[in-house]
A and B are shown apart, each in its own frame.
Chain A
Amino acid sequence: KQEVTQIPAALSVPEGENLVLNCSFTDSAIYNLQWFRQDPGKGLTSLLLIQSSQREQTSGRLNASLDKSSGRSTLYIAASQPGDSATYLCAVLLMEYGNKLVFGAGTILRVKS
């Protein structure tokens, strides 16, 4: 059974700091890995998607890496801003009947101004 773990559960940093969020998964048979952002009470916004054959993806100040063999991904946020405050969720898409996303519990990020 695929399990996804995110560390830390919560993080508070001053504005301008670079930070790393961690995600680990137990089964490497994944189709892709995706990072999402969720604002309080809202739906999910996709930030970055890494196919299983890729090592990293970049979008603006965000960079996500994937090491499928070790079951790990990191989301790097450069020069953090108060507007980055949200919950960040990592999810893997399983290559099986149903093509379901398995999510971690998320990291709650607070960027202080």
Chain B
Amino acid sequence: ETGVTQSPTHLIKTRGQQVTLRCSSQSGHNTVSWYQQALGQGPQFIFQYYREEENGRGNFPPRFSGLQFPNYSSELNVNALELDDSALYLCASSRTQTRGAQETQYFGPGTRLLVL
């Protein structure tokens, strides 16, 4: 059973650019959640995807968008990067049951984004 993987591990961008981060779910998982963790803080929920549709969103602006693919992998896209977007971006996969109950979320190693 493979775990959750994320790419790239590190990324440096300049203000105003766009970035795409990728996540591969753990085998058997159908749900992906994305979190942003600023230095010294706990992770903050960005959004969740289930069956290729957004299934909840945190307090993040529309320039944060995502996709989930038929194989349950996912992308996080951030447009018009700002300095405050510098953070560790964590992806978590889980299995949502047909009645909506969700099982444990398993986290990937994260992508560290630095915006200059």
Interface residues of A (CB under 8 A from B): 4, 31, 34, 36, 41-46, 49, 89, 91, 93, 96-106
Contact = CB atoms under 8 A, between A and B. Distances in A.
A34 B104 contact: yes
B109 A105 contact: no
A42 to B, nearest CB: 6
Interface in B60-107: 88, 90, 92, 94, 96, 100-102, 104-107
Q: Is the interface of A mostly helix, strand, loop or mixed?
A: strand
A103 B33 contact: no
B102 to A, nearest CB: 4
A105 B40 contact: yes
A109 B92 CA distance: 24
24 contacts: A31-B102, A36-B107, A41-B112, A43-B108, A43-B109, A44-B90, A46-B107, A91-B42, A96-B56, A98-B45, A98-B58, A99-B33, A99-B48, A99-B96, A99-B100, A100-B33, A100-B56, A101-B43, A101-B45, A101-B105, A103-B42, A104-B42, A106-B41, A106-B42
Contacts of B48: 98-100
Contacts, number: 69
Interface of B: 31, 33, 35, 40-45, 47-48, 55-58, 88, 90, 92, 94, 96, 100-102, 104-110, 112
